[in-house]
Amino acid sequence: MNDPLETPRDPASSNPSNIPAEQRQWAMFAHLSAIAGAIVTSGVGGWGTFLGPLIIWLMKKESMPFVEDQAKEALNYNITIAIVFLALWVLVFITIGIGLVIAVPAWIVIGIAWLVFTIIAAVKSNEGTAYRYPFSWRLVK
């Protein structure tokens, strides 16, 4: 039964940005595809993390502006993370392994932050909010 004190839900209120559901869903997939890429390939910082956002961006950039924006944001963030992971590997090799003292804790912290920010981005984009990752270089414009 309906509660007489309950306010009726307006479908438009759940999407104040008026972005179509299909675009919001594809934008969410752009962010979540990085997690799928990390699982399937080499983990956080590997090439798989930016392959999914790149494919979605290339497929939808002409027809869905919100998806273009969010896929580009996911792509830039994952490229940034890959560069940071690569820089930490360079540190390890330059210091002949001593850099592992810095690199391993950094990889753990960055990996957890990457996962948290990626999930937040997926949720926000599914709500129709354009999410901006912190600490992301905007390499793809």
- Residue range(s) defining the domain that contains residue 96: 20-125
pLDDT digits (tens, 9 = 90+) for 83-104: 999 999 999 999 988 989 999 9
Is 137 within a domain? no
Model pLDDT for residues 36-57, shown as the tens digit of each residue: 998 888 777 677 888 999 999 9
d(CA 21, CA 30): 14
Measured between alpha carbons, how far is 54 from 15 in angstroms, rounded to an integer? Answer: 26
| Domain-embedded: residue 130 | no
- Minimum mean pLDDT among 68-77, 120-129, 132-141: which range? 132-141
pLDDT value at residue 2: 52
For residue 45, is it left (φ>0), alpha (ψ between -120 and 50) or beta?
A: left
> What is the rounded distance in angstroms from the CA atom of residue 129 to the CA atom of residue 41?
29
Does any domain span residue 11? no
Q: Is residue 31 part of a domain?
A: yes
Say what the pTM is.
0.83
How many domains does one find in the chain? 1
What's the pLDDT at 86?
92
Task: Determine how many CB atoms are found less than 10 A away from the CB of residue 89.
Answer: 14
> 70 near 84, Cβ under 8 Å?
no
Within a domain: residue 61? Answer: yes
Q: Give the max Cα distance, the chain.
A: 71
pLDDT (average), residues 94-121:
94
In a domain, 46, yes or no: yes
Asked if the structure places residue 76 within a domain, the reply is yes
Is there a domain that residue 81 lies in? yes
